Amino acid sequence: MLCFGCQDLAFCPYGEYWRQVKKVCVLELLSRKGANFEFVRKEETAKLVEVALCMRCFTGKVKKASKELHGFLDQVIEEHQVSKSQDKDIVDILLQIEKNGMLTVDFTRESMKAVLMRLLNVTAMIEIKKYREAAMIEIEVLQQLGKHDKGRNRCVQIRNWFDYRNHICIVFEKLGPSLYDFLRKNNYRSFPIDLVREIGGQLLECVAFMHDLRLIHTDLKPENILLVSPDYVRVPDYKGLSRSPKEGSYVKRVPKSSAIKVIDFGSTTYERQDQNYIVSTRHYRAPEVILGLGWSYPCDIWSVGCILVELCTGEALFQTHENLEHLAMMERVLGPLPQHMLKRVDRHAEKYIRRGRLDWPEGATSRESIKAVTKLPRLQHVDHSAGDLIHLLQGLLRYDPSDRLTAREALRLPFFTRDQLRR
């Protein structure tokens, strides 16, 4: 009997840990002394094949028909010019698993190892092709932005690109750290309000520029906003709660320059009707995306609102990894979700709604989840809670995307224009 040696890996194939190390685990298992492939249980075999193929039709139980198995193999063989005689072992193994739910003595350890290695190699080829296609799409977007931008609208500039050993490499202008990295190295201390204003203005200018070109970034977050310069100065931080052992005093870093560039256009898409798939990194995901209502330009605006709050406080506004808790956090910070949005949720989000309202706290997964929501402050209590900033955030974080501010409307609000009048 093949033993994984770890209950978590053997019986929890859907955990995050499993997903991260599954390929490594297979190779490690194959190299183990005493591993016996002469008789393997159905579940364990299915997991091995799932790992080797990395394909969706295997979910820990072998249920699919031979037609689908052959269809996948035919696709692999066609795409990679593999002769059917070369892959006879793969076909035999898959069909035997499907028919009997196990492997028999017909397949030796060496044979199984060779087949799994073959499948892993094919998987790698498929993955390379997928990422190559994504890279070429990003290059196309970058070239389109560069054609219209001329460096004024805060999008990173592509210098060149080339293919090195089947890997697409893109050359960009040299830039500083991301806003997230700057926050992290600064012990998550907030940015001064004037710096938030300058960064926010540039970010909205970039978003307005992209939207004018009918492009939606879909993945705006502090990690994808880079400071142009890495230089910084140290200033007193009277609100600091912890002393930096290296610097020996209450100080924080502040960038010398507020200039930024937006990066990572790999998820950027042109605006079109009926876009319903999931976009944006969790903390910056708009409610219409979670509820399955379709999304467009306003999903970028929501992300900008979340980013500005994070720059003001040093912490992400919605720190969660679960949809219902995420929606409950929104209601805690911003008030109840509109009824007309709750009535239109798609079938995947129906489970979050009960009797016309969010199923909270009844649907909470734990007491800790309820506490995490309850401790969140209202939007009005965000640090630097000057009225102009709150007014801006309320417009950027409106639930209904049709009521949400556009980037150009936001730039005309007093938070940005009042500073210009002072000058």
What pLDDT is attached to residue 382?
73
**Contact status, residue 370 vs residue 364, Cβ threshold 8 Å:** yes
What pLDDT is attached to residue 279?
94
Compute the distance between CA of residue 68 and CA of residue 70 in angstroms, rounded to an integer.
5
**What torsion do the CA atoms of 387, 389, 394, 395 make, to the nearest 10 degrees?**
120
User: Which of 223, 232, 284 has the alpha carbon at shortest distance from 258?
Assistant: 232
Classify each residue of 85-101 as buried b or exposed e, where b means 16 or more C-beta atoms within 10 Å of its C-beta. eebeebeebbebbbeee
**Contact status, residue 407 vs residue 211, Cβ threshold 8 Å:** yes
Domain with CATH 1.10.510.10 in the chain: 179-422
Over its length of 423 residues, how does the chain's per-residue pLDDT go in tens digits? 233 333 322 333 333 333 333 333 433 344 433 333 333 344 444 444 544 443 323 333 333 334 444 454 455 445 444 444 445 555 555 555 444 444 433 444 555 555 555 555 555 555 567 788 888 999 999 999 999 987 678 999 999 888 877 778 888 888 999 999 999 999 999 999 999 999 999 999 999 999 999 999 999 999 999 999 999 999 988 765 544 445 445 889 999 999 999 999 999 999 987 788 999 999 999 999 999 999 999 999 999 999 999 999 999 999 998 999 999 999 999 999 999 999 999 999 999 999 999 999 999 999 999 999 999 999 977 765 568 999 999 999 999 999 999 999 999 999 999 765 554
Compute the distance between CA of residue 167 and CA of residue 130 in angstroms, rounded to an integer.
11
The two beta strands, 215-216 and 167-172, are: unpaired
Read off the tokens for 221: 């977050």
CB atoms within 10 A of CB 59: 14
Read off the tokens for 201: 């203005």
190 Cβ neighbours under 8 A, 6+ residues apart: 239, 311, 312, 313, 314, 383, 384
Compute the distance between CA of residue 44 and CA of residue 58 in angstroms, rounded to an integer.
12
Compute the distance between CA of residue 339 and CA of residue 346 in angstroms, rounded to an integer.
14
- The secondary element (H helix, E strand) that includes residue 204 is helix 193-212
Given 87, 149, 219, 237, the catalytic residue: 219
Question: What 3-state DSSP class applies to 25?
Answer: helix
What pLDDT is attached to residue 165?
72
Classify each residue of 378-389 as buried b or exposed e, where b means 16 or more C-beta atoms within 10 Å of its C-beta. ebeebebeeebb
Residue 155 is given by DSSP the state B
What pLDDT is attached to residue 422?
52
Contacts 24+ apart (CB under 8 A), 69-76: 69/94, 69/95, 69/98, 76/122, 76/126
CB atoms within 10 A of CB 352: 21
User: Which of 250, 234, 252 has the alpha carbon at shortest distance from 242?
Assistant: 250
What pLDDT is attached to residue 25?
40
**Contact status, residue 299 vs residue 220, Cβ threshold 8 Å:** no
Q: Look up tokens 């295997």; give the residue.
A: 58
Residue 351 is given by DSSP the state G
Alpha helices per DSSP H over 32-87: 42-53, 66-79
Question: What 3-state DSSP class applies to 380?
Answer: helix
Q: Which CATH architecture has domain 130-172?
A: 2-Layer Sandwich (3.30)
Q: Looking at domain 179-422, does it have CATH number 1.10.510.10?
A: yes
Domain with CATH 3.30.200.20 in the chain: 130-172
**Contact status, residue 291 vs residue 267, Cβ threshold 8 Å:** no
pTM here is: 0.71
Q: Is 219 a catalytic residue?
A: yes
What tens digit of pLDDT does each residue of 242-287 get?
444 454 458 899 999 999 999 999 999 999 877 889 999 999 999 9
